[in-house]
Amino acid sequence: MRRWDLVLADLEPGKGREQGGQRPVLVVSNDGFNRHFPLLTVLLLTSLQGKRRRVYAFEVLLPAGDAGNTVESIVMPHQIRTVAAARVLRTLGNLQSPELRATIENRLLDHLGIGFGPD
């Protein structure tokens, strides 16, 4: 797997408010890590299909088809996990948009409290 791949992963068992089940996740760990370890750092997605839910400022809207996702989805940088690569069931696609990649990176850095500018 490569960075920015959208994959279907089995995240069971989940605990508490964790997202669980089989769901798409976006690989955000770097390719060097991905090649050398049987782990992936991922951001979870949730579908907007059939839901009356807004996209929060710390989330990113992923339009249908942008990374192999079939429905409009939300990338949730607050739902970051490192999982065994063996949890991946199949690859769905790859996020190509430089603008969406940058937005996701920025929201992830904001969530983790990492800044590169003056305080």
CATH of the domain at 84: 2.30.30.110
pLDDT in tens, the chain (119 residues): 999 999 999 998 766 666 778 999 999 999 999 999 999 999 999 998 888 888 999 999 999 999 999 999 999 999 999 999 999 999 999 999 999 999 999 999 999 999 876 65
CA atoms of 1 and 16, how far apart (whole Å) = 28
Q: Is 108 within a domain?
A: yes
CA atoms of 64 and 84, how far apart (whole Å) = 26
Phi, psi dihedral angles at 99 (to 5 degrees): -70, -45
Contact 73, 48 (CB under 8 A): yes
**What pTM value is reported for the model?**
0.92
Q: Is 119 within a domain?
A: no
What lies within 8 Å, CB to CB, of 21 at 6+ separation is: 10, 11, 12, 14
Residue 45, SS3 per DSSP: strand
Domain containing 14: what range?
A: 5-112
Q: Is 64 within a domain?
A: yes
Q: Is 24 within a domain?
A: yes
Tokens matching residue 71? 């429905």
Domains identified in the chain, total number = 1
Q: Is 118 within a domain?
A: no
Taking alpha carbons only, the member of 25, 29, 110, 115 closest to residue 74 is: 25
Taking alpha carbons only, the member of 24, 23, 7 closest to residue 94 is: 7
